[in-house]
Amino acid sequence: MMRIRSAVLDAVTDTRPYSASSPLSVRELEISSPGPGRVLVRIEAAGLCHSDLSVVNGDRVRPLPMALGHEAAGVVVEVGAGVDDVPVGAHVVLVYVPSCGECAYCAAGQPALCEKGAASNGAGELLGGGRAIQGTEGQLVHHHLGVSAFSEFSVVDRSSVVVVGDDVPFAVAALLGCAMATGYGAVARTAGVRRGQSVAVFGLGGVGLSAVIAAQAVGAGPIIAVDPVAQKQDLARELGATHAVSPGEATELLSALLGGGVEWAFEAVGSTAVLAQAFAATCRGGTTVAMGLPHPSAQLTIPALPIVAEARTVKGSYMGSTRPQIDIPAMVELWRGGRLPVEKLITADLPLDRINDALESLADGSAVRQIIRPQRAA
Ligand SMILES: [Zn+2]
Ligand SMILES: [Zn+2]
């Protein structure tokens, strides 16, 4: 057993500002040595993602208390029995869906849909069951998506790490695990967007902007970025969007530009109203790809006729349909070639003790990706 500092959510709250209500308690936990098939990682950088906020405000129901955080990178400091392909000292990206390698989804090359991974994530446990963390008096604390990244150290399943080169900065590596895996994966894997195809991205947070970067990387165009926040529109243009507009301007732009709609519309907000707008923005034969997580009670209302009469598709994308062990190294290669400028998404770099301030900046829409540094003194 070792003592670590970790950010724990004890109860759901939507009392704002979060910088005052402090939903996350940074406190000591105990962490055990990695058991068979698991590794101990020193977390060097963790991104704050909208999915973390969704757990805090109750949009995404998770067992509590929970040590939050699911987008991170770090260094392997110890490996459990049977782990022979991840050396101590390796730099790793953490992956928020562990995969068993044996279920029908894993066998079909869809580890993001792993049945056992989904079950352990839902239970707040590690793959294979049980937990490696607890309170200092033995209290129950759940893992978040098998990662719990807002912690000095984390014990995770072998399948929750992907080894990357030491040349990749930890903050960049962290973003490859969620924002870029989701955004790049949706464009390159779920959709398979080709050169010259038209793309619209609705919602310009970390995931949406990652989709813009990916659309540029695969040679799509025009690339239309949609968000109410002017600074995010500016950033989208810098990252390769040919046009960036507010939601109210999108329809007019699309008809002026394309006479109809785009071949691919990506939704990164998790709003059914925005998803319906994305669907309306597609052309005949076009596809809407849903990346944002809506509230579990949300129902989508879209006109049914165009699905048949115009052969339009609505498609879900979880973790960008990525195969982490293959696609994250591929993303690293693209980053090395300057084609995935992930670092441009980072708007703040903060010690763990500032996590509630970071939560507020995410909730008020002013931040894109904020990096939390569990190893840095406040
Ligand atoms: Zn995320
Ligand atoms: Zn599986």
Give per-residue pLDDT as tens, 92-114. Answer: 999 999 999 999 999 999 999 99
Which residue from 149, 44, 56, 46 is spatially nearest to 372, judged by alpha carbons?
46
Q: Cis bond leading into 65, ω under 30°?
A: yes
C-alpha of residue 298 to centroid of ligand 1, in Å: 20
Instruction: Give the pLDDT score at 371.
Output: 98
Q: In the predicted model, what is the mean pLDDT of the chain?
A: 97
Q: Using CA atoms, how far apart are residues 321 and 5, in angstroms rounded to an integer?
A: 33
Judge contact between 186 and 289, C-beta under 8 A.
yes
Vertex 17: Cα angle to 14 and 22 (nearest 5): 75
pLDDT digits (tens, 9 = 90+) for 129-164: 999 999 999 999 999 999 999 999 999 999 999 999
Amino acid identity, residue 72? A
Closest CA to 113 of 259, 278, 373, 318: 318
Q: How far is the CA of 52 from the centre of ligand 1 (A)?
A: 7
Instruction: Tell me the ligand closest to 157's alpha carbon.
Output: 2
Ligand 2 midpoint to CA 191 (Å): 22
Q: CA distances (Å), 34 to each of 27, 71, 369, in order?
A: 21, 20, 30
Q: Which amino acid is residue 199, in one-letter code?
A: V
Q: How far is the CA of 118 from the centre of ligand 2 (A)?
A: 9
Task: State in Å: Cα 143 to ligand 1 middle.
Answer: 15
Other Cβ atoms closer than 10 A to 349: 15
Tell me how many degrees the CA angle 368-192-270 measures, rounded to the nearest 5: 40
- The b-or-e profile of 156-194 (16+ CB within 10 A means b, else e) is bbbbbbbebeeebbbbbbbbbbbbbbbbbbbbbbbbebe
> pTM for the full model?
0.96
CB-neighbour burial class of residue 36 (10 A; exposed 0-12, middle 13-18, buried 19+): exposed
Q: Which ligand is nearest to the CA of 72?
A: 1
**CA 95 to ligand 1 center in whole angstroms:** 10
Taking the CA of 128 as reference, the closest ligand is 2
Give 92 Cα–ligand 2 centroid separation in angstroms. Answer: 21
Decide if pLDDT at 366 tops 90: no
CA of 175 to the centre of ligand 1 (A): 9
Model pLDDT for residues 273-315, shown as the tens digit of each residue: 999 999 999 999 999 999 999 999 999 999 999 999 999 999 9
Q: Ligand 2 centre and the CA of 178: distance in Å? A: 19
CA of 107 to the centre of ligand 2 (A): 7
Q: Which ligand gives the minimal distance to the CA of 117?
A: 2
Residue 102 to residues 110, 111, 113, 114, 120: CA-CA distances in angstroms? 11, 10, 12, 9, 15
Position 272 scores a pLDDT of 97
- Report the separation in Å between the CA atom of 108 and the middle of ligand 2, taken as the mean of its atom positions: 9
Is 90 exceeded by the pLDDT of residue 260? no
pLDDT digits (tens, 9 = 90+) for 55-102: 999 999 999 999 999 999 999 999 999 999 999 999 999 999 999 999
pLDDT bucket at 193, cuts 50 / 70 / 90 = very high
- Nearest-ligand number for the alpha carbon of 320: 1
Q: In sequence order, what E strands does the chain have? A: 2-9, 24-31, 38-48, 66-67, 71-79, 91-94, 133-135, 142-143, 153-157, 161-164, 199-202, 223-226, 243-245, 262-267, 282-290, 313-316, 346-351, 369-373
Q: Which of 35-39, 108-112, 253-257, 274-278 has the lowest mean pLDDT?
A: 253-257
Report the separation in Å between the CA atom of 298 and the middle of ligand 2, taken as the mean of its atom positions.
28
**DSSP 8-state class, residue 186:** I
> How many A from CA of 119 to the centre of ligand 2?
10
Q: Please tell me the distance between residue 128's alpha carbon and the centre of ligand 1 in angstroms.
A: 22
Instruction: Indicate the pairing of strand 142-143 with strand 91-94.
Output: unpaired
Could you list which residues have their CB under 5 Å from ion ligand 1?
49, 51, 71, 178
CA-closest candidate to residue 12, choices 60, 58, 77, 53: 58
Q: How far is the CA of 173 from the centre of ligand 1 (A)?
A: 13
Write the CA distances from 325 to 111, 316, 332, integer angstroms. 10, 21, 11
Cα 321 to averaged position of ligand 2 atoms, centre (Å): 14
Tell how far the Cα of 42 is from the centroid of ligand 2, in angstroms. 26
pLDDT at 230: 95
Distances (CA, A) of 191 to 114, 194, 209, 289, 316: 20, 9, 16, 7, 10
What CA–CA distances, in Å, run from 193 to 212, 214, 266?
12, 9, 11
CA distances from 113 to 117, 187, 321 (A): 8, 18, 8
Instruction: Name the CA radius of gyration of the chain, rounded.
Output: 20
* Closest alpha carbon to 263 in 223, 323, 307, 303: 223
Distance 70 CA to ligand 1 centre (A): 6
Is the separation of the CB atoms in 156 and 38 below 8 Å?
A: yes
Copy the structure tokens of residue 236. 């989208």
Ligand 1 mean position, distance from CA 303 (Å): 30
Q: How far is the CA of 99 from the centre of ligand 2 (A)?
A: 5
Omega before residue 17 within 30° of 0, cis? yes
Give the pLDDT band (50/70/90) at residue 173: very high
pLDDT of residue 226: 98
What is the distance in A from the centroid of ligand 2 to the CA of 370? 31
Taking the C-alpha atoms of residue 65 and residue 55, their distance in angstroms, rounded to an integer, is: 11
Average pLDDT over residues 157-182: 98
Distance CA 358, CA 150 (A): 12
Percent residues over pLDDT 90 in the chain: 97
Mean pLDDT, rounded, for 41-53: 97
- Interval 318-341: pLDDT, tens: 999 999 999 999 999 999 999 999
Given a cut of 80, whether residue 378 has pLDDT beyond it is: no
- The ligand minimizing its distance to the Cα of 99 is 2
